[in-house]
Amino acid sequence: MPTTTTSILRRLLLLPVQFLAITTLLTTPPPPGADALDAGYYAATCPDAASLVRGAMERLHHNDPTLAPALIRLLFHDCFVRGCDASVLVSPAPGRASERAAVPNHTLRGFNAVDAVKRALEAACPGAVSCADALALMARDAVALLGGDDYAVALGRRDGTQSNPWEVDLPAPFSRLDDALAYFAARGFDAEETVVLFGAHTVGGAHCGSFRYRLTDPNGTMDDALRCDLLETCGAADQTLDTDPANFFDPDTPFAVDNSYYAQLVSNRTLLQVDQEAAAHPATAAHVAYYAATPGAFVRRFSEVMAKLSNVGVLEGDAGQVRKVCSRYNT
């Protein structure tokens, strides 16, 4: 009886949604999609935008090499939640939460750098360059500064006017790989592309909190020597973020876009469980083995897939706005 009631209720609730989706499909033209982005978008309004961002990134990177990995991650968190619309950059305000209040965002960094670059863009070309474009350019420059291939970023993204913590549904480090693959597939990334994007975990690092539970599991997949080393660094007890030690994913070359991440997967020496699963999963194992064995192929592919990531669900034309300050909507 309760099951029937629930299923009827569910059907009643779903019906109008399906109906709405169908009518929307029939009556509205398809959105322009990232095809409408254009490398020359700022030719008239801010011709030096890209070089201004590159120069600023070079200075920032020189002062703090940990920033570039943080920006690559920031782009991922932006683009997979509401598309690449700078929604991740909005600060929570009293009475109005934002994506930054959601758990996966607690360890995000780089917001001040984006604000600084945007201030420079505003000084050069007031109101022209969106925060979404600024972040896409900064992430591209981060990849290049970390020794990856430079790639073209088409421009014209607009900034969103919504940022909701409850929409942050990013996979967790302890997610099953099957779920992560389905999540990436829903955003247009197949298993190979997902494995390539995971390769971002060849730069930067993770706090112990995202893998500590693996260190006390003698039956887990982590290499024993690494497990013992990390147990010494991290301890077995949970810590708050400000005291929790951070660890490089790839301690040998933490600031190089290279294929060592895949060698670590093959030797069971990576930090995150979901990453480690990619070494053995039938949909990903061959890709992991290939990129572990073929350094140049990874570096080239990483930039191609980063370029694709930069175009997910972008706002174009008159949609959204061009924020003046990346952490605040225009009033």
Ligand X SMILES: *[C@@H]1O[C@H](CO)[C@@H](O)[C@H](O)[C@H]1NC(C)=O
Residues belonging to the active site: 77
294 binds ligand X (CB under 6 A): no
User: Which of 43, 69, 47 is closest to 57 using CA atoms?
Assistant: 69
Burial 166-183 (b: 16+ CB within 10 A, else e): eebebbebebebeebbeb
210 binds, among ligand X, ligand HEM, none (CB under 5 to 8 A by kind): ligand HEM
101 binds, among ligand HEM, ligand X, none (CB under 5 to 8 A by kind): ligand X
Report residue 81 CA to chain centroid gap: 9
In the chain, the largest separation of any two C-alpha atoms, in whole Å, equals: 67
Q: Which is nearer to ligand HEM, 117 or 322 (CB)?
A: 117
Q: Which is nearer to ligand X, 110 or 254 (CB)?
A: 110
Which of 106, 126, 152, 297 touches ligand X by CB under 6 A? 106
Which of 124, 125, 128, 172 touches ligand HEM by CB under 6 A? 172
**Which pair of structure tokens corresponds to residue 269?**
């020496």
Q: Which is nearer to ligand X, 91 or 125 (CB)?
A: 91
**Beta strands in 186-313, from DSSP E residues, in sequence order:** 205-207, 246-248
Which of 148, 156, 160, 171 touches ligand HEM by CB under 6 A? 171
**Which pair of structure tokens corresponds to residue 222?**
């982590």
274 binds, among ligand X, ligand HEM, none (CB under 5 to 8 A by kind): ligand HEM
Do the beta carbons of residue 201 and residue 288 sit within 8 Å? no
DSSP string, 228-243: HHHHHHH-SS---TTT
Q: Give the number of residues in contact with ligand HEM, rule: CB under 6 A.
A: 25
Q: Which is nearer to ligand X, 104 or 127 (CB)?
A: 104
Closest separation in Å from C-beta 159 to ligand X: 17
Helix, strand, or coil here: 109? coil
What residue ranges bind ligand HEM (CB under 6 A)?
66, 69-70, 72-73, 76, 107, 109, 171-173, 175, 180, 197-198, 200-201, 203-207, 210, 272, 274
